[in-house]
Chain A
Amino acid sequence: MAEKEESQEKRAMPQIDENEYILRKRLPRRLPKRKNDIYVNRKTNFNAQLERSQKLFDNGYDVVFIHGLGAAINRSINLALQLKIRGLGSLEISVNTSTVELLDDLEPNNDDLEPDTQLRTNSAVHIKVYKLALA
């Protein structure tokens, strides 16, 4: 799954006392994954991701969905555009954005505190890359 931009959210979030709580992120929600869904992350080699998506088109898929969350949005847009360039006019893009709710756990550092969670939101992008019908 995608990485999150940390510094920006820090500013928006209420300050947590470091001595009282440890902030631990929970994984974003795991979404259903079809064969032609591609979740972009920042760790995997970009070319590998590109090849993977290209392979889907080569193997008969007409539509590929590229999802990116937070800091991986740039990458997913880049990926889609690269695909489009590679397609030499045969591919088209349509973009949707959404907001994903993420949870952080506040783990207490001492015995007298209750654990807590905080809800924050992050932007996500869902790009549909599809083959144009041959006219």
Chain B
Amino acid sequence: MESETKSNPGQYISEKAKESEKRGHKRKRAQDSFIKMKPNEQEDDWLSLAPRCINVADFAEARATEINTMMKAMNNISGGRRIFQKLPRHMRRRAMSHNVKRLPRRLRARAEAEVQKHKRANKQDSGAAKRSRRHRRRPKNLFAEYERRKRKHIWLETHIWHAKRFHMSEKWGYKIPHHPNEKSVRASYRALAKHCLIQDISYYGVIEVTGPQGYLLKSLAHLTNTDSGLTFASLSYLGGKRHGTTMLYQYDKYPYSAISVVNFLWKCLSCECDDRVAIKEETNTDAADKFSSTESRQLWMWVHPSSYETVLNEIVKMFHAKPVMEKMKKKRTQIDKGSDGVEDTGDESSLDFTKTDRQFKNSCVHIRTLKFDLLRFRLQGPLSHSVLLDVLQSAEVKCSDIEECEKMKWWESYYEDTQNAAVHDRQKEVWKNLKNIRTSSELSPGCVLSLTVKDPRLLLPQKKTKVMTAVENTTEPLANERIDLCRRFPDGISQSPIWEKKARKKASVEKFSIDELNKKRAEHLIPGTVLQLGREESRIPILLLHNPGKLEDVKEQMSCQEMQNSLGFGGGWDIVIPSGWGMAFWIALIYRGARAGGEREAQSASAQQGLPYFPYDFPDTLAYNETSNLRKNELESKYSRYPPDKRTNYAKFGVVAPFCSPWEQLVVEWNDTSVSISAKEQTSSIDVDASEMVLNELKVDDMAVTDSVPRDAVYVLRSRSRLRHLAKSCHRYKNMGKDCITSSLSSVLKGDSHALVCVSLRMVHRGVPALFGMVCLADSDDLQQLYRDKNYGGPLETLHKDPSLILKKLDKKCKKRKTKLDTEVKAALVAEINASNSLVSSVKNSCNRQIIGYVCKGSHTFSTGTGCALAYCTIPGLIKMLGDKPASCHAVVLVRNIKSLQYRFAYLSVLTKCW
């Protein structure tokens, strides 16, 4: 095809080509080659530059890919659709997928092929799953399927019960119930405050350490620090009467590198009788003695799954222990033992305790993971005591007539020992006396009781009932015993067979099967009465760990009336049972009216108590970093899914970090400013505010003290004494002067300028602080306005400018006017955008008020009726705030959420007990 034109369109074409070249269209460039230009034509005639002819083959070739995609698109409207779905509407017929003949003839062959393909695919990848429902639901197949699904994430024993009722989340290698499907936020709170809230927290794994006491204590002292509270070596816990909680750090790294909060319990000293315990106690008061004792002791540590491996590795490394191949060895010993050993290969494989339990050993210390051996349920609320009293009944362990031929039950062999039997009798007595107590908060905090109880399935009520405390069941003569019990929880009653692996396992294996139980029930003469199985009945060793709930220091309470919260809130019992018994106990507890909660409820319970929750509220731990990174990715991806006009423009709100809290940068910036101030001070002798002076001192001290640690290493201040000092200065005080407070603070907090402090916030008026909310310093103007007008809501942040939006707008304008954007302006804007993206810009001064910290957890709390939050603040920021604070007022800061411009006032108080 050839065309001749007199005018000169070539100019136009070439210009267009140039433009397309700029855009990077390669096709157009190729076009130039086949558009043959006629040389030496008159220049003024624009038609002369028009192509004379078009070579069809070349023309098509240059557009080959486009034509190709067009053809493909025509053939195949969009992926994943069946052929009959591509028909225009008027040609569609009912049941086309079922009957090929309903399609137009030209499409039948293809439809047939599609059907065959689907059949094949189904057969290949999920043969069993596509079997009939009846086949799939057969117990054997169902359990096989469960086993398969368990492989990826560990299931709790109550998994199936929860999976039917809860949203499950996959976290830390477990399937963890997150929250119930029913509307239950307020109901769960009510259960917590008035009745009983129960959670399955079996995902807390146990690490068992056995070894000589002195050696253990000396070694473990490297992982803990007495400054941050009571440790493993505390006399409160060493006797095994109480369980404790402590913070673990990496070997000798305190205060840096925190690992995890662990709950621990020493095995009770095997007391022959009471007087020996008494002697022991007398001698134990000597501190040196407990470190030199060589008695073999057993320690259990409950560790959150997010940090389980880290803790285990740290402990193993510390003891230089070597892993032990357990399974092989154990089997051999079993065979050796013969009659004594457990002869239940079939049962064992189905229960599968030693799935991945590992052991480590050195010359004297034995470390064992008991991830699958023990379950733990947490009961919180005032009626948890009554619920447990109803569920747990001490079993009869007197073995009266054992026929020789019969195999010994675990409890028969254990309680043959008269001492053990005596302990059991005492435990029984104590449990009986505990019936006179209405709530567990009357008991000494953290006490431990162990029991051997009856099978809870036998005592199940006919219907689900709500256990309440009986109105009258106290009798006067018991009053003294009650007082004794409350004052001094008896010694030696935490001794339990649950500590012994063999007993524990046998207790699980010898479980009376539910099938047999039902058969017995059917044969039972009087329905509704308790089934008496005698010797056949299972006995289960359990541990009860007391949780005191919210504790308050009398001193703090006095000085801070506003923060007063109900004492003992969220207290209750934790129950530890051997594996295999989870569902039996769970159902029994639920049938007594305990309300089940998931992880969300656990978090909200800790929020109501104003306590941090591991790992979300421990920003210096590895587990926090991991979870916060996960959370960040999740939030970011969700944010980017929304169109720009349907999501918050954080740049406009002046929020630098909407998806995570930049602790390191905040701390570094607060420390840098103090240096710059000091430099300024040297050059010009202006009077600097007292608080700033303090900051400078702090900084200088810090530089002197900590040279070896990295500059941006952040840790949380957990030293009790220093925290108490800080907490005191947050309250209103009358006698002391301002200078006195700030100067004493500086001396106390020497070298801690890189630390974060856990604070609790309570809103003064309105507002609910939320995650990532910014804790800011209030101006003196703000404070004065607040003191003048009691209803003053708080200042507003001025709306920021978003450089990327401005750039977009300018671009649009330029396009409309067909002019070019000034390169300098553009470059400046792009630089600004980059700066804001890379977080290089200042965090501290990113909005009108200086940021001193971030909220970790914030919500409306029912217990106070206001918004409350848990936040971490930098020390220089806190000191500055306290320096400006009038003595007659409680410390007040501003809090702003990431989705709001409104600052709100909040009372700030420092938490002294951080877990």
Binding site for B on A (CB under 8 A): 6, 18-19, 22-27, 29-34, 101, 103-105, 107-115, 117, 119
Given contacts A112-B287, A115-B242, 5 further A-B contacts (CB under 8 A): A26-B441, A26-B567, A32-B474, A103-B487, A111-B230
The reply to whether A22 and B487 contact each other, CB–CB distance below 8 Å, is no
Residue B1 is within 8 A (CB to CB) of chain A in the complex? no
Residue B822 is within 8 A (CB to CB) of chain A in the complex? no
Minimum CB–CB distance from B515 to chain A (whole Å) comes to: 42
B-chain residues with CB within 8 Å of residue A111 when the two chains form the complex: 226, 230-231, 233-235, 287
How many positions in chain B have a CB within 8 Å of any CB in the partner chain?
A: 38
Within 8 Å by CB of B552, from A6, A24, A29, A119, lies A24
Within 8 Å by CB of A119, from B230, B236, B445, B487, lies B487
Interface centre among B285, B442, B473 (most CB of A within 10 A): B442
Within 8 Å by CB of B439, from A27, A34, A107, A108, lies A27
A-chain residues with CB within 8 Å of residue B438 when the two chains form the complex: 29-32
The interface bits of chain B over 533-553 (1 if a CB of A lies within 8 angstroms of the residue's CB, else 0) are 000000000000000000111
The reply to whether A108 and B487 contact each other, CB–CB distance below 8 Å, is no
Minimum CB–CB distance from B819 to chain A (whole Å) comes to: 70
> 3 shortest A-B CB distances, which residue pairs?
A30-B438, A111-B234, A112-B287
The reply to whether B486 and A103 contact each other, CB–CB distance below 8 Å, is yes
Residue B405 is within 8 A (CB to CB) of chain A in the complex? no
Minimum CB–CB distance from B204 to chain A (whole Å) comes to: 24
B-chain residues with CB within 8 Å of residue A23 when the two chains form the complex: 553-555
The reply to whether A6 and B558 contact each other, CB–CB distance below 8 Å, is yes
- Within B357-406, the residues touching A (CB, 8 Å) are 382
A-B pairs with CB below 8 Å: how many? 87
Within 8 Å by CB of B487, from A25, A110, A117, lies A117
The reply to whether A34 and B554 contact each other, CB–CB distance below 8 Å, is no
The reply to whether B445 and A117 contact each other, CB–CB distance below 8 Å, is no
Residue B568 is within 8 A (CB to CB) of chain A in the complex? yes
Minimum CB–CB distance from B869 to chain A (whole Å) comes to: 22
The reply to whether A110 and B486 contact each other, CB–CB distance below 8 Å, is no
Residue B471 is within 8 A (CB to CB) of chain A in the complex? yes
Interface of A, secondary structure class, is loop
Closest residue to A104 on the B side, CB-wise?
A: B554
The reply to whether B441 and A108 contact each other, CB–CB distance below 8 Å, is no
A-chain residues with CB within 8 Å of residue B720 when the two chains form the complex: 109
Q: How far is the CA of A73 from the CA of B422 in the complex (A)?
A: 46
The reply to whether A105 and B235 contact each other, CB–CB distance below 8 Å, is no
B-chain residues with CB within 8 Å of residue A108 when the two chains form the complex: 230, 234-236
Minimum CB–CB distance from B564 to chain A (whole Å) comes to: 8
Minimum CB–CB distance from B639 to chain A (whole Å) comes to: 42
Interface centre among B445, B472, B473, B554 (most CB of A within 10 A): B554
The reply to whether B553 and A26 contact each other, CB–CB distance below 8 Å, is no
Minimum CB–CB distance from B796 to chain A (whole Å) comes to: 34
Residue B280 is within 8 A (CB to CB) of chain A in the complex? no
B-chain residues with CB within 8 Å of residue A101 when the two chains form the complex: 483
Minimum CB–CB distance from A25 to chain B (whole Å) comes to: 6
A-chain residues with CB within 8 Å of residue B649 when the two chains form the complex: none
The reply to whether B483 and A30 contact each other, CB–CB distance below 8 Å, is no
The reply to whether A25 and B444 contact each other, CB–CB distance below 8 Å, is no
Residue B488 is within 8 A (CB to CB) of chain A in the complex? yes
Interface of B, secondary structure class, is loop
- Within B155-205, the residues touching A (CB, 8 Å) are none
The reply to whether A24 and B487 contact each other, CB–CB distance below 8 Å, is no
B-chain residues with CB within 8 Å of residue A114 when the two chains form the complex: 235-236, 281, 285
Closest residue to B439 on the A side, CB-wise?
A: A30
Minimum CB–CB distance from A44 to chain B (whole Å) comes to: 12
Closest residue to B472 on the A side, CB-wise?
A: A32
Residue B469 is within 8 A (CB to CB) of chain A in the complex? yes
Q: How far is the CA of A135 from the CA of B444 in the complex (A)?
A: 53
Minimum CB–CB distance from A6 to chain B (whole Å) comes to: 6
Asked whether A6 and B554 contact (CB < 8 A) given A27-B442, A103-B486, the answer is yes
Q: How far is the CA of A107 from the CA of B471 in the complex (A)?
A: 33
Q: How far is the CA of A117 from the CA of B485 in the complex (A)?
A: 12
- Within B210-267, the residues touching A (CB, 8 Å) are 226, 230-231, 233-236, 242
Q: How far is the CA of A114 from the CA of B311 in the complex (A)?
A: 28
Closest residue to A29 on the B side, CB-wise?
A: B442
Q: How far is the CA of A29 from the CA of B474 in the complex (A)?
A: 12
Minimum CB–CB distance from B484 to chain A (whole Å) comes to: 11
Within 8 Å by CB of A25, from B230, B474, B567, lies B567
B-chain residues with CB within 8 Å of residue A119 when the two chains form the complex: 483, 487
A-chain residues with CB within 8 Å of residue B235 when the two chains form the complex: 108, 111-114
- Within B437-479, the residues touching A (CB, 8 Å) are 438-439, 441-442, 444-445, 469-474
A-B contact pairs, 20 of them (CB 8 A): A6-B554, A6-B558, A23-B555, A24-B554, A25-B552, A26-B567, A27-B568, A29-B438, A30-B439, A32-B469, A32-B471, A32-B473, A105-B444, A110-B230, A114-B236, A115-B236, A115-B444, A117-B444, A117-B487, A117-B488
A-chain residues with CB within 8 Å of residue B551 when the two chains form the complex: 24, 107
Closest residue to B912 on the A side, CB-wise?
A: A22
Q: How far is the CA of A10 from the CA of B488 in the complex (A)?
A: 22
Q: How far is the CA of A115 from the CA of B243 in the complex (A)?
A: 13
A-chain residues with CB within 8 Å of residue B553 when the two chains form the complex: 22-24
A-chain residues with CB within 8 Å of residue B487 when the two chains form the complex: 103, 117, 119
Asked whether A27 and B234 contact (CB < 8 A) given A6-B554, A119-B487, the answer is no
Asked whether A34 and B226 contact (CB < 8 A) given A27-B568, A112-B287, A117-B444, the answer is no
Interface centre among A19, A104, A115 (most CB of B within 10 A): A115
A-chain residues with CB within 8 Å of residue B486 when the two chains form the complex: 26, 103, 117
Minimum CB–CB distance from A36 to chain B (whole Å) comes to: 12
Q: How far is the CA of A34 from the CA of B470 in the complex (A)?
A: 10
Q: How far is the CA of A101 from the CA of B488 in the complex (A)?
A: 15
Closest residue to A34 on the B side, CB-wise?
A: B471
Closest residue to A24 on the B side, CB-wise?
A: B551
B-chain residues with CB within 8 Å of residue A31 when the two chains form the complex: 438
Closest residue to A112 on the B side, CB-wise?
A: B287
B-chain residues with CB within 8 Å of residue A19 when the two chains form the complex: 721
Minimum CB–CB distance from A63 to chain B (whole Å) comes to: 15
- Within B23-69, the residues touching A (CB, 8 Å) are none
Minimum CB–CB distance from B433 to chain A (whole Å) comes to: 14
A-chain residues with CB within 8 Å of residue B558 when the two chains form the complex: 6
Minimum CB–CB distance from B98 to chain A (whole Å) comes to: 67
A-chain residues with CB within 8 Å of residue B470 when the two chains form the complex: 32
B-chain residues with CB within 8 Å of residue A22 when the two chains form the complex: 553, 555
Q: How far is the CA of A115 from the CA of B236 in the complex (A)?
A: 6
The interface bits of chain B over 504-548 (1 if a CB of A lies within 8 angstroms of the residue's CB, else 0) are 000000000000000000000000000000000000000000000
